Amino acid sequence: MVSKDLLDILRCPACVREKPGMLKLVKDTWLVCQEPGCGRKYPIRDDIPVMLIDVGDKWVNTAEDALPVPPPAE
């Protein structure tokens, strides 16, 4: 599990330059950007958040309730 301290400092790498880029923990295995118009979703694999923009882009059109648990390996 990712620590609360780490979750408090992580931000969406695509949004953080111009906006807060706040993330929400979903299903204990996904970090979802809360910025309007973003919607990137970053998987947490083996307790390590995968904070790559291209990975987040792959899940933009997937609804939060449809995110697979555990996240698939790339």
pLDDT of 3 higher than 90 = no
22 within a domain of the structure (yes/no): yes
* Structure token pair of residue 56: 């987040």
pLDDT confidence of residue 55: 97
* Structure token pair of residue 27: 């299903």
The string of pLDDT tens digits covering residues 15-68 is 999 999 999 999 999 999 999 999 999 999 999 999 999 999 999 999 999 999
Q: How confident is the model at residue 74 (pLDDT cuts 50, 70, 90)?
A: confident
73 within a domain of the structure (yes/no): no
Distance from C-alpha of 36 to C-alpha of 44, rounded to nearest angstrom: 22
Q: Which amino acid is at 43?
A: P
User: 48: domain range?
Assistant: 4-64
Q: What is the CATH number of the domain that holds 17?
A: 2.20.25
Number of domains in the chain: 1
Q: How many residues does the chain have?
A: 74
- Whole-angstrom CA distances from 41 to 1, 5, 26, 61, 63 are 17, 19, 9, 9, 10
49 within a domain of the structure (yes/no): yes
Residue 61 dihedral angles phi and psi, to the nearest 5°: -90, 5
42 within a domain of the structure (yes/no): yes
32 within a domain of the structure (yes/no): yes
* Structure token pair of residue 66: 């449809």
74 within a domain of the structure (yes/no): no
